[in-house]
Structure 1
Amino acid sequence: MTAAVLFGSFLVLLLLSVPIAISLGLASVITIFTTDAITINSFTQTMIQGLNSFPLMAVPLFTFAGDIMGRGGISRRLLNVTNIFFGRFNGGLGIVAIVTCLIFAAISGTGSATVAAIGMLMIPEMVRKNYDKTFSSALIATSGTVGVVIPPSVPMVIYSVAAGVSVTGLFISGVIPGLLIGGVLIFYTYIYSKKHGYEGDDRRYTFKEIVKIIIDAIPALLVPVIILGGIYGGIFTPTEAAAVGCVYGIIISIFIYKEVKIKDLPAIGFNSIYLCAAVLIIIGISTGFGRILTISQVPVMIAEAILSITSSKILILMAINILLLVVGTFMETNAAIIILTPILLPVVVSLGVNPIHFGVIMIVNLAIGFITPPLGANLFMACQVTGVKFDALAKAIIPWIAIMIFALLLITYLPSITLWLPRLLKIPV
């Protein structure tokens, strides 16, 4: 009864185009007043406790750090460095864009920020070199998905809170999967470019030019080293690393590269708060929503129902992947993580799947949603940057989605891809 009221009212509200946060809240209130699942006071207290989380402070901090670094000229300098090493290959500009996205992902923590920062620089240059505009846009949109897999990642912070797992362990578990996705994208770009005659850059850099470009980019290249090295070295927590990233971003953007002014900081800060406010509201309300689920034993019932159909680990993981891929097409990533983690985690844990491994699986699934219509946040961002029509880009993105799904299946069924590095470094997972 409780589950039927809760999910029934939630789905009806979503179909009526009510925002997710309000739908969650109203569905919870309707359930509270029609069943005896929980009191309104307990629901309110749970909401407040859900937001009273030290790891959650990393969300607005990483958002601010990524924003200010994107405006501070870091992305352009990263492109210059990667072009030295990869620009001469077939599809060199595309490969440079992918590698730069991988590095920038270790700074921004989000997908759309990566698409905007790299796309505005790379897509016009690729078009100038006779790359197809829709291909270039699809490449950048897909590369931007790595922003939530390579640490630091805002969705990883959200999952760690929802699942009660180590943020540090989750961060380091995302490194190899992120590099795997990047490698698969590079391979496809090389093959496609060779077939369509997208040759590399014939420019030959002198030793003096190489040294100058690398020295100019050192402050930018140090960002992931400081943030990730500090976390994995035990110097500071992921939340403290986000604060360090903010301070370092301010220093290099204002005082070293001088592409951001002090007077710009309030606007950048406001933008970060604005972007995070909706996410934090969803987190608070969904914590209360999850409390109703837990008390009503809905996750247990769902787990038992799924396991009664089949006990095959392969089939259940495949079904969960399909579910997450579908959810990712219409639901915002952080909201999906918060809502679905309490439901799906008991199922996979009963099958012996490591919670951190499942977190990476979930995030990669939902990252594919960034390039899957009708939501496709990265597609919309790429369209804004390039002016390509959405329907044209939606067709061009199909092979890229297939490539991403291939990488997803490897990550799903080969747990060592995710868990090898943290176990090597003796980080609990």
Structure 2
Amino acid sequence: MEWQVLIVLFGSFFIFLGIGVPISFAIGISSLFTVLLSLPFEPAIAVISQKMASGLDSFALLAIPFFILAGNIMNQGGIAMRLIMFAKVLGGRLPGSLAHVNIIANMMFGAISGSAVASAAAVGGTMAPLQKKEGYDPAYSAAVNITSCPTGLLIPPSNTFIVYSLISGGTSIGALFLAGYIPGLLMGLGLMTVAGIIAKRRNYPVDQRSSLSQVLTTTWRALPSLGLIAVIMGGIIGGIFTATEASAIAVVYTLLLAVVFYREVSLRQLPKIILESVVTTSIVLLLIGASMGMSWAMANADIPYMISDALLAVSENPIIILLIINLILLIVGIFMDMTPALLIFTPIFLPIAMDLGMDPVHFGVMMTFNLCIGICTPPVGSALFIGCSVGKVKIDKVVKPLLPFYAVLVIALMLVTFIPKLSLALPQYFLGY
């Protein structure tokens, strides 16, 4: 009976995905089918509906629409070019400077917008023509952009960590935000190392040295945008406001920045930006609600314990189990987008990781890092599609240039997995976590 439940849940889910049913509905319907194995139709409908509604009844979830709105305002506010110019100051003298500029700009823009796709489009759309003009291989340029845009999902503020906090039972969002910094920087530095080696071999040009006045001017123009990170994280660390309150402050800050300071967004554009944010928020929250129903269905059928027993039957060695979990998540990331993968597999793997003595903050960072790789891989990687689109290259042309970047990302993932201090040092220092 137990394995029958498992087959019904995941079998129906992947069948629905295969025939093109939207993922939120696939999650909800497969959850209903699973509950029907133990309850009559009307109680099953009532339970799933109740779990979906109660799953969205969370104050912490208010941060998601606010951060999405703040990110959309920033995307329209002329932020990308200012950050790119600042990134040229930081990485312009390195071999293959434009590749390093792309990576650094993605780290900064992604951290501000909280969206890998927005970062890939905004930064990549600006950098691709510049790199082509300098003689860079378009496929290589696209690979750099694709693999560096997810850094903003680790460097806060990150909606991914907010979702994980909810689904993991209330893990501290502030601790998760702080925990993402070192792994996010590790991801970026790893990519810069690969980009530097390739640039050296191909003799890609180095940018001209900037004058002191150019450095000061560029830094001054970028500081107000980067100030958002200081305001949010300073307030959270200092205990001035919560992560949810920080999201509302982020909206006010970005509105003042885009409308008053930079004057790149007019009041007439705001209704369109708000509407886009509402649509994006509704998609995310429907996914969360449906996934809460699936989480209850899995818990009711003891599916996490079944999978835990199966993993422990393979080995009791924590290293082997974590390697298996990472391998499964890497495979899942190839076929499933980040948010639904996080929502579905956190309730399964988090109890196993905690039984091994792993901190939930550490596990959340590991899982997010792992799934960041997934959005860069074919066939459904959102960052891959956007990166190829703005770089004007076909997916089959960019797969080979992506391979060395995938390799360094997996190495960095292993470091994050097996060195807990990389994730926990900052939360322990600033929050006493």
Which bin holds the TM-score, normalised by the shorter protein?
over 0.9
Q: Residue type of the partner of 2:379?
A: P
**Taking structure 1 as reference, are residues 85 and 345 closer, same or farther at Cα in structure 2, changes over 3 Å only?**
closer
**1-side partners of 2:32 and 2:217: how far apart?**
61
Tell me if the contact between 1:379 and 1:393 (Cα under 8 Å) persists in the aligned partners.
no
**2-side partners of 1:365 and 1:126: how far apart?**
29
Tell me whether 1:345 sits opposite 2:350 in the alignment: yes
SS in 2 for 1:375: coil
**1-side partners of 2:329 and 2:68: how far apart?**
25
Tell me if the contact between 2:179 and 2:424 (Cα under 8 Å) persists in the aligned partners.
yes
Deviation at 1:4, TM superposition (A): 3.4
SS in 1 for 2:316: coil
**1-side partners of 2:273 and 2:9: how far apart?**
38
**1-side partners of 2:112 and 2:431: how far apart?**
24
TM-score normalised to structure 1 length: 0.96
Provide the residue aligned with 2:62 in structure 1: 57
Deviation at 1:6, TM superposition (A): 2.4
Q: Which of 187, 196, 199 lines up with 1:193 in the alignment?
A: 199
Tell me the alpha carbon deviations over residues 372-414 of structure 1, each in whole angstroms, 9 at most, x when there is no partner: 1001111110122121112112232122111111111111111
Deviation at 1:207, TM superposition (A): 2.6
Deviation at 1:215, TM superposition (A): 2.1
* Aligned positions, number: 427
Tell me the alpha carbon deviations over residues 131-187 of structure 1, each in whole angstroms, 9 at most, x when there is no partner: 111111110111101121111111111111000211111111111000111111111
Alignment of 1:57-136 (within 5 A): 57-136=62-141
Tell me whether 1:177 sits opposite 2:183 in the alignment: yes
Q: Residue type of the partner of 1:25?
A: G
Q: Residue type of the partner of 1:261?
A: S
**1-side partners of 2:236 and 2:105: how far apart?**
22
Provide the residue aligned with 2:8 in structure 1: 5
Q: Which of 16, 19, 43 lines up with 2:22 in the alignment?
A: 19
Deviation at 1:323, TM superposition (A): 0.5
Deviation at 1:269, TM superposition (A): 1.2
Q: Residue type of the partner of 1:72?
A: G
The CA RMSD over aligned residues, in Å, is 1.5
Q: Which of 28, 34, 54 lines up with 1:31 in the alignment?
A: 34
TM-score normalised to structure 2 length: 0.95
Tell me if the contact between 1:90 and 1:199 (Cα under 8 Å) persists in the aligned partners.
yes
Tell me whether 1:359 sits opposite 2:367 in the alignment: no
Q: Residue type of the partner of 1:295?
A: N
Tell me the alpha carbon deviations over residues 328-352 of structure 1, each in whole angstroms, 9 at most, x when there is no partner: 1111111111111111111111111
Alignment of 1:224-373 (within 5 A): 224-373=229-378
Q: Which moved more, 1:332-341 or 1:292-301?
A: 292-301
Provide the residue aligned with 1:388 in structure 2: 393
For structure 1, the residue ranges without an aligned partner over 5 or more in a row are: none
**1-side partners of 2:239 and 2:110: how far apart?**
21
Provide the residue aligned with 1:137 in structure 2: 142
Deviation at 1:296, TM superposition (A): 1.9
Tell me if the contact between 1:89 and 1:199 (Cα under 8 Å) persists in the aligned partners.
no
Q: Residue type of the partner of 2:30?
A: A
Tell me if the contact between 2:111 and 2:151 (Cα under 8 Å) persists in the aligned partners.
no
Provide the residue aligned with 2:383 in structure 1: 378
Q: Which moved more, 1:239-248 or 1:207-216?
A: 207-216
Q: Which moved more, 1:75-84 or 1:25-34?
A: 25-34
**1-side partners of 2:298 and 2:413: how far apart?**
29
**Taking structure 1 as reference, are residues 205 and 33 closer, same or farther at Cα in structure 2, changes over 3 Å only?**
closer
**1-side partners of 2:384 and 2:140: how far apart?**
12
Q: Which of 401, 404, 418 lines up with 2:423 in the alignment?
A: 418
Tell me if the contact between 1:100 and 1:118 (Cα under 8 Å) persists in the aligned partners.
yes
Deviation at 1:35, TM superposition (A): 2.1
**1-side partners of 2:400 and 2:91: how far apart?**
28
**2-side partners of 1:222 and 1:292: how far apart?**
43
**1-side partners of 2:417 and 2:138: how far apart?**
33
Tell me if the contact between 2:112 and 2:226 (Cα under 8 Å) persists in the aligned partners.
no
SS in 2 for 1:34: coil
**2-side partners of 1:323 and 1:22: how far apart?**
23
Q: Residue type of the partner of 2:189?
A: G
Tell me whether 1:44 sits opposite 2:49 in the alignment: yes
Provide the residue aligned with 2:220 in structure 1: 215
Provide the residue aligned with 2:166 in structure 1: 161
Tell me if the contact between 1:169 and 1:427 (Cα under 8 Å) persists in the aligned partners.
no
Deviation at 1:421, TM superposition (A): 1.4
For structure 2, the residue ranges without an aligned partner over 5 or more in a row are: none
**2-side partners of 1:288 and 1:221: how far apart?**
38
Provide the residue aligned with 1:406 in structure 2: 411
Q: Residue type of the partner of 1:423?
A: Q
Deviation at 1:206, TM superposition (A): 2.9
SS in 1 for 2:216: helix
Tell me the alpha carbon deviations over residues 276-308 of structure 1, each in whole angstroms, 9 at most, x when there is no partner: 222211111111111121122211122122112
**2-side partners of 1:411 and 1:182: how far apart?**
13
Q: Which moved more, 1:14-23 or 1:4-13?
A: 4-13
Q: Which moved more, 1:228-237 or 1:363-372?
A: 228-237
**2-side partners of 1:80 and 1:9: how far apart?**
49
Tell me if the contact between 1:92 and 1:199 (Cα under 8 Å) persists in the aligned partners.
yes
